[in-house]
């Protein structure tokens, strides 16, 4: 109890038992870590931290001539199994990333370049994997994938990321290795076939990691979704909307988004306008399941969202089923409908959007409708692999490792909600990649969870700490939107000009650094996990509601506030979000702030709108340019802010501020709020103005 012990890793087990060890994500390791395997892969010898030594079979035979096997084992010396092999999986490096494929690494492996699969091979494979998917949809998906790959390697396309030049530089030395061309049905010594293969490799080089491409995993998921679509669904529009969500076109810069949509339309996929979708969803109904029917074992209850009907089973622990206050608006009903379709196909989901757009609300409402139990975990920058899978606790002076929410969800078939998915380091988040893609994960305490149909679940699986993942286990990841390099390009030039004008290189360097930092989305963004494992999820882009939906939401929070005030507030916040998308603002003012303003005005009706709004912008008090930009937006909609805000800040109170709207013709007076005007002369006369404000 309390002692430190060493447990064998998968690599050690492969060395001892002669298995095949797959090193997935080899490109993520530092160069020094990769070269630590040189002695093992070339000399077939390695010494572990606990003193155990593994020697090559040839040296083992020499040692057995002088010492017995028992004596060698007593000295912790063991042979490397002759069948031990290592397969490394990696992706090409990016132009701005470090070069992991060094000369030392190239001498350790035989390399095989995996080119993009062509239509001739993809279509039969997809049809065999998803036989119920219409052949037209399969061909459309394959054609879209081919067009995106061509655009990624086309220098004249907005989707080009320099992938062809990067890949050619990356593989120029590999093509000189003869083993690269030892592929099935390929003669490496036939010069004609070798030249054809080399040309194909040059034409079908893997696109860069930042390229907008459609992976095979995404194609299979969309095909399954299309095969399970409700009757009467327009597959062209449904597949087009699913592709846009999978590629996250909502968060792309405008040129890239237009290029992707042009490719989708080129292949016959209908892209319905967002306003039309929201208008069509206004009549969508949500019919909750009857709780009495759920608890009755003789009946089956169903929940309905639009045209999607899902069965509901009674939870084993009702205390884990979330309950939330949720007001229905058309945009959120559309998202709930799409999420319920993914739940029925048991696809893990990713909800991505700015902070405060309602990702947690939507998730809790979905689980509340389905009566599904929830396990919750929130990631942060200090999250480690150990804390993701096990929770240490001190009991009677001994450190005990309890199951984390992830492990509990796998055992009991619950829904794991992973909040702030983008905050944790990428090497921590990708631990979930093997779980989501392959259905397998190895914990720090030696337990291994596999899919229920895995051949590893034999009769003695319990003794080997091999457990089955519950078939209803589901992951819903919540993350903030990724940064936009287009935003950086638009903001960088004026910052550089201002820095050079001052002839101060220190200021220039700092402004360049912070402009790059801000364009990455500070403070709400973390690591680019979407590039690493975004295709492992069924993606949903969550944006702020449109103005009409937002007004409908605010009316339900506060039905007594004037309609004109709601219209002015929603219009001002809409303009603030446009400024955020254009890169002029870094804080994404969301529906959450607007709802809090409405709640405050409802609870304290005597407070002025100006005072409540200035609470939202209190952190911008010492940035005059930013305050001028923000207050100009509100004055555009007739909300007077910031005329004398600095004096009020210094006084520590409200002060006598002149808060007048811009001069314009006004309709008949209707009292909405009180605005105090201060006379600019030395006189202390005051008066109350009543207007449409």
Report the pLDDT value the prediction gives residue 98, as an integer from 0 to 100.
Answer: 62
DSSP symbol at 316: S
pLDDT of residue 516: 41
**Residue 650 — pLDDT band, cuts 50, 70, 90?**
very low
The answer as to whether 240 is a domain residue is yes
pLDDT tens profile 116-171? 666 677 888 899 999 999 999 999 999 999 888 888 878 888 888 765 555 555 44
Q: Examine residue 25 and state whether it is found in any structural domain, yes or no.
A: yes
Examine the domain organization and report whether 260 and 302 are in the same domain: no
Q: How far apart are CA 7 and CA 15, in angstroms?
A: 14
**CA separation for the pair 406, 140 (Å, rounded):** 37
Residues 286 and 411 grouped into a single domain:
yes
Residue 517 in any domain: the answer is no
DSSP for 54-68 reads EE-HHHHHHHHTTS-
Name the token pair of 13: 């087990």
Shared domain check, 401 and 309:
yes
Residue 523 belongs to a domain: no
**C-alpha dist (Å) from residue 419 to 188, 217, 371, 431, 633:** 51, 24, 20, 16, 32
Looking at per-residue pLDDT, the higher value among 120 and 44 belongs to 44
Q: Is the same domain home to 30 and 162?
A: no
From residue 336, alpha-carbon distances to 196, 419, 592 in Å are 50, 18, 19
Share of the chain above pLDDT 90, in %: 25
Q: Above 90 in pLDDT, residue 362? A: yes
pLDDT score of 294: 62
Q: What is the pLDDT of residues 586-602, one digit of tens each?
A: 888 888 889 999 999 88
678 inside domain:
yes
CA distance 339 to 350: 10
Q: Please check the confidence at residue 298 and state whether its pLDDT lies above 80.
A: no
Of 479, 513, 532, the domain-final residue? 479
Specify which residues 48 forms β-bridges with.
none
* Residue 185 DSSP one-character state: T
Number of domains in the chain: 4
Average pLDDT over residues 24-41: 82
Same domain, 196 and 289: no
Q: For residues 175 and 311, state if they share a domain.
A: no
pTM, entire model: 0.78
Per-residue pLDDT of 264-290, as tens digits, reads: 999 888 887 777 777 778 888 898 887
Q: Is 465 left (phi over 0), alpha (psi -120 to 50) or beta?
A: left
Confidence at residue 527, expressed as pLDDT on a 0 to 100 scale: 65
Residue 493 is assigned to a structural domain of this protein: no
Does residue 528 form part of some domain?
no
CA distance 455 to 473: 19
Top pLDDT among 121 and 558 is at 558
Backbone angles phi, psi at 401, to 5 degrees: -100, 115
- Clarify whether residues 304 and 245 are in a common domain: no
d(CA 514, CA 38): 40
Query: If you average pLDDT over residues 618-645, what whole number do you get?
Result: 77
pLDDT value of residue 376: 94
Residue 668: domain span: 547-689
Tell me if 693 sits within 8 A of 638, measured CB to CB.
Answer: yes
Task: Report whether the peptide linkage leading into residue 174 is cis, meaning its omega lies within 30 degrees of zero.
Answer: no
CA distances from 689 to 370, 568, 686 (A): 52, 18, 10
Which CATH number fits the domain that encloses residue 470? 3.40.50.300
- Name the domain boundary from 221, 253, 272: 272
Question: Bigger pLDDT: 329 or 163?
Answer: 329
Across residues 493-517, what is the average pLDDT?
Answer: 41
Task: Note the pLDDT of residue 364.
Answer: 94
User: Beta strand 390-395 with 398-403: parallel, antiparallel or unpaired?
Assistant: antiparallel
Boundary of a domain, candidates 446, 479, 512: 479
Q: Any residues with CB less than 8 A from the CB of 524 and at least 6 apart, and which?
A: 354, 355, 480, 588
Asked if residue 94 and residue 209 are part of one domain, the reply reads no
DSSP one-letter code for 23: E
422-451 pLDDT per residue, tens: 888 877 877 888 888 888 888 877 788 988
Q: Out of 8-17, 222-231, 297-306, which region has the weakest mean confidence (pLDDT)?
A: 297-306
pLDDT band at 45 (very low <50, low <70, confident <90, very high): very high
Q: Please tell me whether residues 43 and 146 are part of one structural domain.
A: no
The yes-or-no verdict on residue 657 having pLDDT over 70 is no
Q: Mean pLDDT across the stretch 319-345?
A: 91
Do residues 147 and 192 touch, judged by C-beta distance below 8 A?
Answer: no
Q: Residue 620's pLDDT is what?
A: 73
236 and 365 in a common domain: no
Residue 348 forms part of a structural domain: yes
Which ranges of 248-390 does DSSP label H, i.e. alpha helix?
A: 254-266, 274-280, 291-295, 330-344, 359-370, 385-389
pLDDT digits (tens, 9 = 90+) for 512-540: 444 444 444 433 345 677 877 888 899 99
Q: What is the mean pLDDT of the chain?
A: 77
User: What pLDDT score was predicted for residue 180?
Assistant: 39
Pair 32, 60 in one domain: yes
For residue 7, what is the enclosing H or E element? none
- How many helical (H) and strand (E) elements, i.e. helices and strands, does the chain have? 30, 20
* Whether 593 and 667 share a structural domain: yes
């Amino acid at each position: 109890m309390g002692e430190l012990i060493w447990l064998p890793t998968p690599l050690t087990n492969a060395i001892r038992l002669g298995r095949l060890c797959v090193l997935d994500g080899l490109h993520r390791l530092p160069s020094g870590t990769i070269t630590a395997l040189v002695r093992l892969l070339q000399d077939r010898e390695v010494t572990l931290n606990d003193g155990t030594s593994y020697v090559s079979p040839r040296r083992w035979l020499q040692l057995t001539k002088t010492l017995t096997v028992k004596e060698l084992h007593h000295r912790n010396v063991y042979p490397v199994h002759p069948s031990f092999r290592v397969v490394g999986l990696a992706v090409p490096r990016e132009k701005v990333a470090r070069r992991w494929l060094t000369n030392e690494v190239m001498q350790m492996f035989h390399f095989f370049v995996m080119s993009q699969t062509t239509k001739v091979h993809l279509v039969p494979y997809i049809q065999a994997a998803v036989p119920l998917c219409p052949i037209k949809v399969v061909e459309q998906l394959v054609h879209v994938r081919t067009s995106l790959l061509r655009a990624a390697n086309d220098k004249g396309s907005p989707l080009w990321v320099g992938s062809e030049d990067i890949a050619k530089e990356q593989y120029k030395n590999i093509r000189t290795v003869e083993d690269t061309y030892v592929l099935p049905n390929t003669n490496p010594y036939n010069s004609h076939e070798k030249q054809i293969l080399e040309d194909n490799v040059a034409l079908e080089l893997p696109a860069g990691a930042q390229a907008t491409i459609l992976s095979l995993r995404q194609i299979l998921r969309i095909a399954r979704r299309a095969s399970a679509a409700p009757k009467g669904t327009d597959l062209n529009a449904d597949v087009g909307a699913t592709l846009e969500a999978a590629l996250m076109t909502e968060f792309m810069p405008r040129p890239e988004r237009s290029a992707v949509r042009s490719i989708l339309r080129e292949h016959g996929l209908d892209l319905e306008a967002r306003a039309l979708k929201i208008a069509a969803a206004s009549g969508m109904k949500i019919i909750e399941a009857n709780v009495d029917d759920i608890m009755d074992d003789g009946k089956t209850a169903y929940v309905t969202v639009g045209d999607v009907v899902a069965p509901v089973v009674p939870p084993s622990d009702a205390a884990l089923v979330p309950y939330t206050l949720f007001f229905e608006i058309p945009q959120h009903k559309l998202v709930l409908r799409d999420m319920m379709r993914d739940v029925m196909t048991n696809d893990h989901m990713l909800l991505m959007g700015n902070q405060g757009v309602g990702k947690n609300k939507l998730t809790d409402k979905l689980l509340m409708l389905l009566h599904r139990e929830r396990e919750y975990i929130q990631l942060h920058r200090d999250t480690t692999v150990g804390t993701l899978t096990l929770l240490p606790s001190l009991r009677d002076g001994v450190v005990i490792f309890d199951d984390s929410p992830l492990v509990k969800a796998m055992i009991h078939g619950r829904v794991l909600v992973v909040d702030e998915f983008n905050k944790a380091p990428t090497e921590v988040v990708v631990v979930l990649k093997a779980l989501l893609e392959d259905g397998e994960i190895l914990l720090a305490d030696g337990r291994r969870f596999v899919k229920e149909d895995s051949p590893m679940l034999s009769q003695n699986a319990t003794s080997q700490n091999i457990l089955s993942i519950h078939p209803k286990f589901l992951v819903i990841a919540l993350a903030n939107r990724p940064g936009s390099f287009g935003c950086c390009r638009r903001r960088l030039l004026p910052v550089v000009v201002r820095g050079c004008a001052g002839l101060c290189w220190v200021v220039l360097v700092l402004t360049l650094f912070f402009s790059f930092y801000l364009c990455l989305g500070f403070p709400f963004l973390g690591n680019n996990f979407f590039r690493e494992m975004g295709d492992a999820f069924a993606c949903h882009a969550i944006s702020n509601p449109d103005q009409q939906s937002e007004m409908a939401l605010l009316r339900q929070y506060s039905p007594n506030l004037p309609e004109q005030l709601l219209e002015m507030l929603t219009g001002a916040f809409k303009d603030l979000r446009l400024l955020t998308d254009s890169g002029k603002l870094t804080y994404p003012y969301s529906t959450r702030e607007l709802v809090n303003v409405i709640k405050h005005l409802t609870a304290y009706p005597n407070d002025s709108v100006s005072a409540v709004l200035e609470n939202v912008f209190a952190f911008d008090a010492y940035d005059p340019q930013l305050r001028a930009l923000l207050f100009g937006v509100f004055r555009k909609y007739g909300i007077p802010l910031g005329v004398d805000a600095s004096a009020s800040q210094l006084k520590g109170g409200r002060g006598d501020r002149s808060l007048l709207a811009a001069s314009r013709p006004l309709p008949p007076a209707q009292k909405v709020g009180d605005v105090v005007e201060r006379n600019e002369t030395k006189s202390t006369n005051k008066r109350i103005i009543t207007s449409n404000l």
